[in-house]
Chains A and B, each alone.
Chain A
Amino acid sequence: MSVGYVPVQWNRHKRVYDLCVAVAILLYLGVFFAIGKLVYTGRRAISDEILAMRALGTCALLLLHLILCIGPLARRDSRFLPLLYNRRHLGVVTFLVGLAHGVLAIIYYHGFGRVNPLASLLLSNTNYTSLSAFPFQVLGLLALIILFLMAATSHDFWLKNLGPAAWKRLHMLIYPAYGLLILHVALGILQTHRSPWLAGLVAAGVIIVSGLHIAAGLSEAGRDGRRAAAASTGSERRSDAPQNDANWVDVGSVDDLSESRGSAICVGDSERIAVFRHNGGVSATSNVCAHQGGPLGEGKIIDGCITCPWHGWQYRPADGCSPPPFTEKIATYRVRVVHRRIEIDPTPLPPGTPVEPARVDADAPSESENG
Chain B
Amino acid sequence: MTRAQRRHHLAIWLVLGPTLLAGLLLAVARRPPSPIESRSVARDGEHASSSVSPAGGRGANR
Interface of A with B (CB < 8 Å)? 46-47, 50, 53-54, 131-133, 168, 172, 175, 178-179, 182-183, 186-194, 199, 202-203, 206-207, 209-211, 213-214, 217-218, 220-221, 224, 269, 271-272, 288, 293, 295
Contacts and interface: CB of A to CB of B under 8 A. Distances in A.
Nearest to A218: B10
B1 A186 contact: no
Contacts of B3: 224, 269, 271-272
Q: Give the 6 A-B residue pairs with the shortest CB-CB distance, closest first.
A: A210-B17, A217-B10, A186-B27, A213-B13, A192-B59, A293-B1
Interface of B: 1-3, 5-7, 9-10, 12-14, 16-21, 23-28, 30-32, 34-35, 57-62
Contacts of B35: 192
20 contacts: A178-B20, A179-B16, A179-B19, A186-B27, A186-B28, A187-B27, A189-B59, A190-B31, A191-B31, A191-B32, A192-B59, A203-B21, A203-B24, A203-B25, A206-B21, A221-B7, A221-B10, A224-B3, A288-B1, A293-B2
Contacts of A178: 16, 20
Given A217-B9, A288-B1, A190 B20 contact: no
Contacts of A269: 3
Contact residues of B: prevailing secondary structure:
helix
A85 to B, nearest CB: 16
Most buried by B among A50, A188, A191, A224: A191
A175 to B, nearest CB: 6
B51 to A, nearest CB: 9
Nearest to A191: B31
A200 to B, nearest CB: 10
Contacts of B62: 50, 53-54, 188-189, 192-193
A213 B16 CA distance: 11
A175 B11 CA distance: 12
A190 B58 contact: no
B40 to A, nearest CB: 16
A224 B62 CA distance: 49
Contacts of A53: 62
Contacts of A272: 3
Contacts of A203: 21, 24-25
B14 A186 contact: no
